[in-house]
């Protein structure tokens, strides 16, 4: 009996087996990479797709192979003995179809139940990643784009963390721009003693900022003062620094409010943090010969781009480009990140392409994209209003984000009350469930489609209890929990003593789907696509419904096994919810 491989997900295990088979089939092609995919047709669970391409390579050199199909047949014959596979067949021009063994599938699931879902976590080959997300600008508009960045970034961080990567969650807040000159000068003008007295109401920073912009456009003297204020601030003048830090503190409190609601953990390292590193970073870039002068500014020209990166403005100031270069340098050299991920709207793609390109030219990053350290821009589409235009607001955006969450919660609470839950549950239960469902609905709606597509914000759609919504999925989970509760059995005892089998076709389908969880998370990590997990979760829920429709659980002869399958499904669903930043509910 050959030693059974057990490390890795199903696909990786099959890759290991087919690797052996390919080596035996064509020993003179040692570098072949097994191409394994899950089956789309009904012939098997997975398939190996190497035969056709391989035949093209070896044509003429190995006369025993007359066509691709004969290569496929040999690959199948040469597969090592394994308890993992029940049967194999060759289809068409040499696809090797694999049917996995039910007993093996059942054993893997049972093992997960006793050892924990963490044993199904993919193992990525990197140690540390930085996810730069949310990153609103102080005193400027905090728009839904930042909400998207917060939701997507949090999930990206979570799937990497689950996969064994240390993640530094970075809030790259815009706390160092020219907006401060105008704002501070404006506030000094209107509230001369504001810095020293705490009771002056400057909470509505955005309104002040808008006024200060107007003032600066209308009044040349003010404009000049504002420009001087930036210089004073950046030069470390105490009064200006104090004003700046108070402004930042006000914004920080507002942002924190949103993060707490969303249950998002993030650490602020704003633009200002990197300021001290700018001179030496520029010196380094200059030594590499990357910086040239253009119209009084210092720039880095990027091949194929219309505009260069501006690293020192004509007035001597630094800007967004400069800070991002300094931050990238810091993240690579001080924080030693293997993978740096930037989550912003698709509109900033070009900015990041240019920054990454410069970093490659400077030798900070390897030229090949598949080598580490690596940088990736995770872009996303717009959130649209019902009118098809950018989703926007009348009043202050920060408040509105909170309002949005409030409304989602209120609506879901209302729906729960309509279903009579207020008489069944305590006020606290009602509230917590409404929150989980409401916030979950907003998040899931944001994550469920490929992030690059735009979507229309619509409460009715996101709160529907059918289709691809958090509500439907949370219901499915709660239903499974209720089946287990109603059995009256102690599931922990069953996990220890019971045996799980997958004899019914629908049990087998569900079981296979459960085992694919690990591959799915890995795929989501590789392409940084949370929607892959959403689709998986939805599919899982459908497979469960199919199983539950055709297989009696409580009171059946297979009760123990089926309860274990229910528990495994609920466990995987909960992990998916967690990765998506959604709080699971146990009754609904
Ligand atoms: N503050 C920027 C904005 O609101 C996003 C910052 C993204 N991160 C970065 N390192 N540039 O558009």
Each residue of 333-350: pLDDT tens digit?
A: 999 999 999 999 999 999
Distance from the CA of 173 to the center of ligand 1, in angstroms? 7
Mutational pocket test of ligand 1: of 130, 131, 133, 135, the residue with most ligand atoms within 8 Å of the beta carbon: 135
Cβ–ligand 1 contact at 251 (below 6 Å): no
In angstroms, what CA-CA distances link 286 with 37, 99, 283, 320, 461? 48, 60, 5, 18, 53
- Ligand 1: atom nearest CA of 327 is 10
For ligand 1, atom 11: residue with the closest CA: 324
- Which secondary structure element, helix H or strand E, spans residue 132, and what is its range? strand 128-132
What predicted TM-score, i.e. pTM, was given to this entire model?
0.94
Distance 14 CA to ligand 1 centre (A): 42
* Residue bearing the CA closest to ligand 1, atom 6: 135
Q: Is the CB of 137 under 6 A from ligand 1?
A: yes
Direct distance between the N- and C-terminal alpha carbons of the chain, in angstroms, rounded to an integer: 49
Atom of ligand 1 nearest to the CA of 174: 1
- Structure confidence by residue, pLDDT tens digits, 356-370: 999 999 999 998 888
Contact 340, 167 (CB under 8 A): no
> Is the minimum distance from the CB of 174 to ligand 1 under 6 angstroms?
yes
Q: Is the pLDDT of residue 416 over 80?
A: yes
Residue 394 pLDDT level (bands cut at 50, 70, 90) = low
Question: How many angstroms does the Cα of residue 328 sit away from the middle of ligand 1?
Answer: 13
pLDDT at 521: 97
Residue 116 φ/ψ, nearest 5 degrees:
105, 150
From CA 377, how far away is CA 132, in angstroms rounded? 10
> What does the pLDDT look like over 307-334, one tens digit per residue?
999 999 998 888 899 999 999 999 999 9
Say which DSSP state 64 is in.
T
3-state secondary structure of 270: coil
Give the distance (Å) from ligand 1 centre to CA of residue 542.
Answer: 39
Give the helix/strand (H/E) hosting 297: strand 297-300
Query: What is the pLDDT at residue 196?
Result: 77
Q: Ligand 1 atom closest to Cα of 351?
A: 11
Instruction: Return the pLDDT at 550.
Output: 98
Q: What is the dihedral of CA 381, 386, 389, 394, to 10 degrees?
A: -110
What's the 71 CA to ligand 1 centre distance in angstroms? 52
- The predicted model gives 195-206 an average pLDDT of 70
pLDDT, the chain, mean: 93
Tokens at 313, concatenated = 């403005």
Query: Which of 153, 201, 513 has its CA nearest to residue 342?
Result: 153
Helix axes 179-190, 238-262, angle to 10 degrees: 110
Pocket residue to mutate for ligand 1, from 344, 349, 352, 356, most atoms within 8 A of Cβ: 344
CA–centroid distance, residue 359 to ligand 1 (Å): 18
> 358 C-alpha vs ligand 1 centroid, how far in Å?
18
Higher model confidence: residue 147 or residue 584?
584
CA distance 246 to 89: 70
The pLDDT assigned to 203 comes to 65
Nearest-CA residue for atom 7 of ligand 1: 135
The verdict on the CB of residue 342 being under 6 Å from ligand 1 is yes
Pick 479 or 396 by higher pLDDT: 479
Ligand 1 proximity of 376 Cβ (cutoff 6 Å): no
Query: What is the pLDDT at residue 234?
Result: 82
Counting Cβ atoms within 10 Å, is residue 484 exposed (0-12), middle (13-18) or buried (19+)?
Answer: buried
Q: Which of 219-223, 255-259, 434-438 has the lowest mean pLDDT?
A: 255-259
Residue 35 has pLDDT above 80, yes or no: yes
Among 3-7, 180-184, 308-312, the range with the most confident prediction by mean pLDDT is 308-312
- Own/partner contacts of 405-411, CB < 8 Å, gap of 24 or more, are 405/258, 405/261, 405/262, 405/438, 405/439, 405/442, 407/459, 408/438, 408/439, 408/441, 408/442, 408/459, 408/462, 408/463, 409/434, 409/435, 409/438, 409/439, 410/434, 410/438, 411/438, 411/459, 411/463
Tokens read off for 434: 């409404």
Q: Which atom of ligand 1 is nearest to the CA of 320?
A: 11
- Residue nearest atom 3 in ligand 1 by C-alpha distance: 136
- What is the Å distance from ligand 1's center to 309 Cα? 16
Alpha helices in 78-123 (DSSP H): 102-115
| Domain 401-579 homologous superfamily, CATH | Isoleucyl-tRNA Synthetase; Domain 1 (1.10.730.10)
Assigned CATH class of 3-100: alpha beta
Distance between CA atoms of 539 and 514, rounded to whole angstroms? 10
Distance 156 CA to ligand 1 centre (A): 17
CA distance 111 to 508: 16
pLDDT tens digits for range 99-119: 999 999 999 999 999 999 999
Q: What is the CA(134)–ligand 1 centre distance, in A?
A: 8
- Domain positions in the chain are 3-100, 401-579
């Amino acid at each position: 009996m050959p030693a059974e491989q057990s490390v890795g997900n199903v696909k990786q295990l099959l890759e290991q087996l087919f690797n052996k088979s390919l080596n035996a089939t064509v020993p003179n092609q040692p570098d072949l990479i097994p191409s394994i995919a899950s089956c789309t047709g009904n012939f098997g669970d997975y398939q190996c797709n190497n035969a056709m391409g391989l035949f093209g390579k070896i044509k003429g050199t190995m006369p025993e192979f007359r066509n691709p199909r004969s290569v496929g047949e040999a690959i199948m014959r040469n597969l090592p003995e394994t308890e993992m596979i029940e049967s194999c067949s060759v289809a068409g021009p040499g696809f090797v179809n694999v049917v996995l063994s039910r007993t093996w599938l059942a054993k893997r699931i049972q093992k997960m139940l006793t050892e924990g879902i963490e044993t199904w976590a993919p193992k990525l080959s990197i140690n540390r990643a930085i996810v730069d997300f949310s990153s609103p600008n102080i005193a400027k508009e905090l728009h839904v784009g930042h909400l998207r960045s917060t939701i997507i970034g949090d999930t990206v961080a979570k799937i990497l963390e689950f996969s064994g990567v240390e993640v530094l969650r970075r809030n790259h807040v815009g706390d160092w721009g020219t907006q401060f000159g105008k704002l501070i000068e404006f506030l000094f003008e209107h509230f001369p003693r504001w810095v020293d007295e705490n009771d002056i109401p400057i909470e509505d920073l955005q309104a002040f900022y808008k006024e200060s912009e107007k003032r600066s456009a209308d009044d040349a003297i003010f404009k000049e003062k504002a420009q001087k204020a930036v210089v004073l601030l950046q030069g470390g003048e105490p009064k200006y620094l104090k004003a700046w830090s108070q402004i930042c503190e006000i914004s920080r409190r507002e942002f924190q409010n949103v993060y707490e609601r969303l249950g998002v953990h993030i650490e602020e390292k704003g633009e200002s943090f990197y300021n001290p590193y700018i001179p030496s970073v520029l010196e380094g870039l200059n030594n590499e010969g990357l910086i040239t002068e253009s119209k009084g500014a210092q720039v880095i020209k990027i091949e194929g781009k219309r505009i260069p990166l501006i690293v020192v403005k004509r007035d001597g100031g630094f800007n967004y480009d400069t800070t991002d270069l300094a931050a990238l340098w810091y993240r690579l050299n001080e924080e030693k990140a293997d993978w740096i991920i930037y989550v912003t709207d698709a509109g900033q793609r070009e900015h990041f392409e240019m920054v990454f390109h410069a970093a490659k030219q400077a030798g900070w990053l390897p030229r090949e994209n598949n080598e580490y350290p690596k940088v990736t821009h995770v872009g996303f589409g717009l959130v649209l209003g019902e009118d098809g235009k950018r989703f926007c607001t009348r009043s202050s955006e920060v408040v509105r984000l909170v309002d949005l969450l409030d409304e989602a919660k209120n609506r879901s609470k209302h729906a729960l009350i309509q279903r009579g839950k207020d008489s069944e549950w305590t006020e606290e239960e009602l509230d917590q469930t409404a929150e989980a469902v409401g916030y979950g609905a907003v998040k899931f709606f944001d994550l469920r489609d490929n992030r690059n597509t735009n979507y229309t914000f619509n409460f009715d759609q996101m709160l529907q209890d059918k289709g691809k919504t958090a509500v439907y999925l949370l219901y499915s989970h709660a239903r499974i929990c209720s089946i287990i509760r109603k059995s009256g059995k102690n599931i922990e005892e069953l996990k220890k003593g019971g045996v799980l089998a997958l004899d019914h076709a629908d049990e087998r389908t569900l079981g296979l789907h459960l085992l694919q969880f690990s591959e799915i998370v890995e795929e989501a990590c590789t392409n940084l696509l949370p929607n892959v997990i959403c689709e998986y979760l939805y599919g899982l829920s459908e497979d469960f419904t199919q199983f539950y429709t055709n297989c009696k659980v409580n009171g059946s002869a297979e009760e123990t096994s089926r309860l274990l399958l229910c528990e495994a499904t609920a466990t995987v669903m909960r992990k998916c919810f967690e990765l998506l930043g959604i709080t699971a509910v146990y009754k609904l």
